[in-house]
A = this chain, B = another copy of it.
Amino acid sequence: MLLNLSHTEENYIKAIYHLEQDGKPVSTNDLSELLKTAAASVTDMLKKLKQKKMVHYKAYYGCNLTEAGRKGALMIIRRHRLWEYFLSKKLGFSWDEVHDIAEELEHVGSTSLIDKLDAFLGYPRFDPHGDPIPDEKGHIVQQQNKLLSEIPLHLPVEVVQIGDQSAHILELLSDKNIRIGTLLEVRKRFTYDQSLEIKTGSKSITQISKELSQNILVKDHE
C-alpha cells in the first residue's frame, strides 16, 4: 500500500472527498449517514485520520482533508473509476452493475497495477457514468455541466454524467433508454411537481420526475 491506509480508512477519506463542497467542513453526521456507521465510530476514526495527517479535525467542528488526504482520495477514486471502465468496456458489464464490484477492486493498492490498467484501457478520461478519471498525478478535470432540471425548454443537450449512482437510479435510466451520450430536449415543465416531459433522440417521449432530473447532468449539444 503506497498510502498505508486500511480499506476502512480509504473508504472514509473517499467519503470525505465526496462530501466536501467548497471549503466547508464535513460533519460527523453526514459521514455517519453516507457510510452507514454510527456517529460515535466516525468520531473515533476522525481522530485516527487526524493522527495520520489525512484530515484536519476539531471536536464539534467537523473535518476537512489535508493535502495528503486529498491526494489519497483522488488515487482511490482513480482506481475505482478505472475498474468501472474496465468492467464495462472489457468484461461487458452494464453500467449499473459496475459500481459495487469496483468498490472492492479500488482497495487493491498496487500503483503499477493501476498505471498499467490505465494504459491497457487507453487512458480513458471518463468512467461509464460520465465521471472524470483522475490521472496518475491526481489531476482531475472539473466539468461545467448543468442539471437537467435547470435546462430551458427546447434546447438540445447531451447527457454527460449521472449524479447519484445507486443501482436504483441506473435501473430507471436503463428502462428509459437514457445513458451517457443520449441526446435530450425538454418539451414541457409541469409546475405542480416539477416533472419534465422530454424527447430522447428523435422520436421517443418520456416523463422524468423532479428527483431524477436533478441527477442527470447535461451539456449543450452543438
Contacts and interface: CB of A to CB of B under 8 A. Distances in A.
A104 B93 contact: no
Q: Would you call the interface of chain A mostly helix, strand, loop, or mixed?
A: helix
Given A91-B120, A120-B90, A108 B113 contact: no
Q: Interface size class for chain A?
A: 10 to 19
Nearest to A113: B101
A56 to B, nearest CB: 31
The residue in A97, A113, A116 that gathers the most chain B C-beta atoms within 10 A of its C-beta is A113
A130 to B, nearest CB: 22
B101 A108 contact: yes
A113 B90 contact: no
A109 B105 CA distance: 10
Contacts of A110: 100-101, 104
Contacts of A16: none
A87 B113 contact: yes
Contacts of A120: 90-92
Interface string A79-115: 0000000010011110001001100110011101100
Interface of A: 87, 90-93, 97, 100-101, 104-105, 108-110, 112-113, 116-117, 119-120
6 contacts: A91-B116, A91-B117, A93-B116, A101-B108, A101-B110, A105-B105
